[in-house]
């Protein structure tokens, strides 16, 4: 079953995020206390699959959840195959809407300098918060295509 492997937040942009047991997502904002939370953007929360992190580990890079500044590390869901607009339900209350797949990355970012490569441009996805609530490690993930 698709699930959340890690919940990650940070107070500053461009840095690795720390894993936490749970976090609160605010509607149309993102994670409370996270540097990327912003009501004026469509990139309120970021997701990255643990399977992508494993690909980096297979290349000899020592990385884990939060190292690519993602908010949610997932398992068992092919994030890159989801069409834009897909609703992603997490846990009991949270509903997210897929707004962007991948991103432009600049080689000067802290993640790139620390890790030597960044997978968010190809493997990361971004969502906006449609309905808020608490997200915990181990929460199930469900999807619904909209439109």
Model confidence pLDDT, tens digit, residues 93-129: 999 999 999 877 655 666 666 666 677 778 899 999 9
Token output for 140: 């199930």
> What CA–CA distance (Å, rounded) separates 142 from 77?
9
Can you give the pLDDT at residue 55? 87
The conformational region for residue 99 under phi > 0 = left, psi -120 to 50 = alpha, else beta, is alpha
Q: What is the per-residue DSSP string for 13-42?
A: TTSPPEEESEEEEETTTEETT-TT--TT-S
Average of per-residue pLDDT values in the chain: 90
Q: Write out residues in the chain with pLDDT < 50, as ranges.
A: none
Q: What is the pTM of this model?
A: 0.91
What is the domain partition of the chain in residue ranges?
3-144
- The domain 3-144 belongs to what CATH superfamily? PK beta-barrel domain-like (2.40.33.20)
């Amino acid at each position: 079953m698709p699930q959340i492997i890690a919940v990650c937040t940070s107070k500053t942009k461009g840095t690795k995020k720390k894993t936490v047991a749970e976090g609160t997502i605010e509607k149309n904002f993102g994670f409370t206390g996270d540097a990327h939370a912003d009501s004026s953007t469509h990139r309120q929360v970021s997701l990255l699959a643990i399977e992508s992190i494993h690909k980096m580990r297979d290349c000899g890079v020592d990385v884990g959840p939060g190292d690519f500044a993602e908010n949610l590390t997932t398992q068992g869901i092919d994030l890159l195959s989801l069409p834009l607009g897909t609703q992603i339900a997490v846990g009991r209350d949270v509903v997210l809407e897929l707004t962007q797949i991948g991103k432009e990355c600049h080689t000067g970012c802290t993640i790139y300098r620390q890790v030597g490569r960044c997978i968010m441009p190809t493997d990361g996805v971004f969502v906006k918060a449609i309905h808020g609530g608490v997200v915990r490690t181990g929460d199930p993930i469900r999807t619904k295509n909209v439109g």
